Amino acid sequence: MKTSLRFWAFMVLCVFPCALGADVSKTEHGESIKETVYKDLAYVSDGHTHQKLDLYLPEGKGPFPVLVWIHGGAWRAGSKDRARGLDWLNRGVAVASVNYRLSQHATFPAQIEDCKSALRWLRAHAQTYHLDADRFLAWGASAGGHLVALLGVTGDTRSFGVGDHLQQSSAVLAVVDEYGPTDFLQMDAMDGDSGRIDHNSADSPESQLIGGAIQEQIEKVQSANPLTYVSKNDAAFLIIHGDQDPLVAHGQSVILHDALQDAGVEAKLYTVKGGKHGWFKDPQVTKQIHDFITKHLELENL
């Protein structure tokens, strides 16, 4: 039986601006890190409460390359408070964890507009926070994977450019996309009998994001599909997906990977054998991500 939004949200959830000063904490891998944290930085003037980011700075003078984390949660849940990638602080990488308006606050394209606004804000304030505006990488999983994929394929366009700092770029050098949807209209067909979500239903996460049943909103859905924007100028991609994912079919990553390669874009798809929707136990996942980030943020000599 396919379920709708409640199941998706449950599964994925299991997945005032000031500097808080230097702090010693633990990464997701148990490493000790010393960082300066700026919490709840508003990246839109007079914006929504969700239009904020947390910025973690490593020790040192910079300029620091930036890893931008975009959380998942079916576009309805999740928070910047559970940032991944903080272990990269020990290698001199700043980490920005971004909140964005959820689908109950605003329908698409609000979510990608917010992500792009956050990137432009970071570049506009690069000197203040000692950031390297030329070395930005985006990483996200599930709904966050969808949004970072959109960032990766729209960096050379004016698509979704609204708000402040429009003179700044919202492009990224590279993207780590973990099991993000890439073509909503094909999701049910790709799921077959093994899928647990009726993506075409009016209360599916995708339909809630779009603002109506996706098969009745074709033009708007196309504007939300990363596959729509693929071109030769796109960011480099590392795509990671389990071949037994019951929520977002593995084929969603296959079609994006193939389209990127056909366009001449550097793209790698790492398939987790037997992998579901995240919580991968394959140690190669960590290695693939480590090597990709090291290469594209030019950390080989650090």
The residues that bridge with 70 in the sheet, in sequence order, are 98, 140
3-class state of residue 125 by DSSP? coil
Does residue 179 register a pLDDT over 60?
Answer: yes
Domains in the chain, please, with CATH?
A: 5-296 (3.40.50.1820)
Q: Quick one: pLDDT at residue 18? A: 43
The DSSP secondary-structure symbol of 223 reads: H
Dist CA 274 CA 27 (whole Å): 27
Choose between 147 and 22: higher pLDDT.
147
How would residue 281 be classed by pLDDT, with cut points 50, 70 and 90?
confident
Mean pLDDT of 197-213: 97
Dist CA 279 CA 12 (whole Å): 10
Dist CA 292 CA 284 (whole Å): 12
Six token digits for residue 189: 């067909």
DSSP assignments along 31-83, one per residue: -EEEEEEEEEEESSTT--TTSEEEEEE-SSS-PEEEEEEE--STTTS--GGG-
Q: Quick one: pLDDT at residue 14? A: 38
Mean pLDDT of 148-171: 94
